[in-house]
Amino acid sequence: MKRDDRKAGKSVPSRQAGAKSRSQKGSPALADLLREARKNKDLSLQEVADATGLSVGLISQIERGLTTPSMRSLRQIADAVGVSVSSLFARTDAEDVGEDRHITRKDKRRVLNLDSIGMHMEIMTPAEGAPIQAFVAYLLPGGMSGTEFDSHVGHEFGIIIDGQLELFLGSQRYLLNPGDTFSFNSETPHRYVNSGTTMTYIHWVITPPIY
């Protein structure tokens, strides 16, 4: 973890947390938001399952805070209940949305904890509706985007700040270290995992925004 993030008081997984954090249950805040969004659309669990291809049991567990979804599943559920993924990110201070739509202070980033898959994300771009989206991702050892491959419209670029990232693009596998960068068409089936023994810290840019 970088010194500036510690000083800012960010709720970021520590290196020592390791596998222990990955065994934690899901996010109650995320569970409440997804359940509320589904009920606002007057959708049953079965209807969301039919729209996403996920099981009723998994969606129920997510809504009860028993587990957190993969990045792909989170986007599928958000689409089904009619909300943006970024609306599910909590602000560090809900009463202060920043100075304007051009600046995001470090301690005002929107954050999302996906403990079951060992990931913590913070959106750095200040406003929705921008053509690009930048975020930082922290992956605990063993943390991943999910066990399944994902694909969607867009293009992604990132740089490994600290730790190690194993990136799968179609049938290709790449092992990335600090200073290494990646760039790929998001329609290429992809997934990633921290296969190292310390936390991985990544700066990521995607266009168009999907979170």
* CATH code for the domain of 50: 1.10.260.40
Q: Answer yes or no: do 167 and 73 share one domain.
A: no
Q: Answer yes or no: do 105 and 45 share one domain.
A: no
Considering 87, 106, 121, which residue would you say is the last residue of a domain? Answer: 87
Q: Answer yes or no: do 106 and 121 share one domain.
A: yes
Domain assignment present for 6: no
pLDDT at 90: 66
pLDDT at 23: 36
Number of domains comprising the chain: 2
Q: Answer yes or no: do 58 and 161 share one domain.
A: no
Domain assignment present for 103: yes
Q: Are 202 and 164 in contact (CB under 8 A)?
A: no
Q: Answer yes or no: do 105 and 155 share one domain.
A: yes
pLDDT at 9: 41
* CATH code for the domain of 126: 2.60.120.10
Question: Can you tell me which residue has the tokens 């194993």?
Answer: 166
Q: Answer yes or no: do 78 and 146 share one domain.
A: no
pLDDT at 178: 98
Considering 70, 87, 104, which residue would you say is the last residue of a domain? Answer: 87
Domain assignment present for 134: yes
Q: Answer yes or no: do 198 and 95 share one domain.
A: yes
* Three-class DSSP labels, the chain: CCHHHHHCCCCCCCCCCHHHHHCCCCCHHHHHHHHHHHHHCCCCHHHHHHHHCCCHHHHHHHHCCCCCCCHHHHHHHHHHHCCCHHHHCEECCCCCCCCCCCCCCHHHCEEEEEHHHCEEEEECCCCCCCCCEEEEEEECCCCECCCCCECCCCEEEEEEEECCEEEEECCEEEEECCCCEEEEECCCCEEEECCCCCCEEEEEEEECCCC
Domain assignment present for 34: yes
Q: Answer yes or no: do 110 and 171 share one domain.
A: yes
Domain assignment present for 16: no
Q: Answer yes or no: do 169 and 180 share one domain.
A: yes
Q: Answer yes or no: do 101 and 199 share one domain.
A: yes
Considering 39, 64, 87, which residue would you say is the last residue of a domain? Answer: 87
Q: Answer yes or no: do 127 and 37 share one domain.
A: no
Q: Answer yes or no: do 55 and 99 share one domain.
A: no
> The domain containing residue 191 runs over which residues?
89-207
Each residue's pLDDT expressed in tens, for the chain with a length of 211 residues: 444 444 434 445 554 343 333 333 445 578 888 999 999 999 999 999 999 999 999 999 989 888 888 888 888 898 999 988 877 776 555 445 545 678 888 888 888 888 888 999 999 987 667 889 999 999 999 999 989 999 999 999 999 999 999 999 999 999 999 999 999 999 999 999 999 999 999 999 999 988 7
